[in-house]
Amino acid sequence: MKKVFLLGLCLSLLACLPAMAQRYKTAAGLRIGSDEFGFTIQQKILEKTTLEGLVTASPREITATILGEQHFPMLGQRFNYYLGGGAHGGRLKDYGAIYGVDAIVGLEYKVNGLPFLLSADLKPAIHFRHEEWFNMGGAFSIRYVIIKEKPPTPGQIIKGIFSPSDKKKKKKKESSSWF
Tens-place pLDDT, residues 48-98: 899 999 999 999 999 999 999 999 998 877 899 999 999 999 999 988 999
Dihedral class, residue 44 (left if φ above 0, else alpha if ψ from -120 to 50, else beta): beta
Average pLDDT over residues 146-171: 65
Burial zone of 178 (CB within 10 Å; 0-12 exposed, 13-18 middle, 19+ buried): exposed
Residues 6+ apart with CB under 8 A from 6: none
Q: Is 161 helix (H, G, I), strand (E, B) or coil?
A: helix
Beta bridge partners of 64: 55, 89
174: pLDDT strictly greater than 90: no
C-alpha separations of 177 from 111, 167, 172 in Å: 51, 16, 9
Please report, as a single letter, which amino acid is at residue 63: T
Angstrom distance (rounded) from CA 50 to CA 63 = 20
Mean pLDDT of the chain: 81
| CA 14 centroid distance within chain | 18
157: pLDDT strictly greater than 50: yes
Residues 6+ apart with CB under 8 A from 58: 35, 36, 37
Residue 159's pLDDT is 63
Average pLDDT over residues 121-131: 92
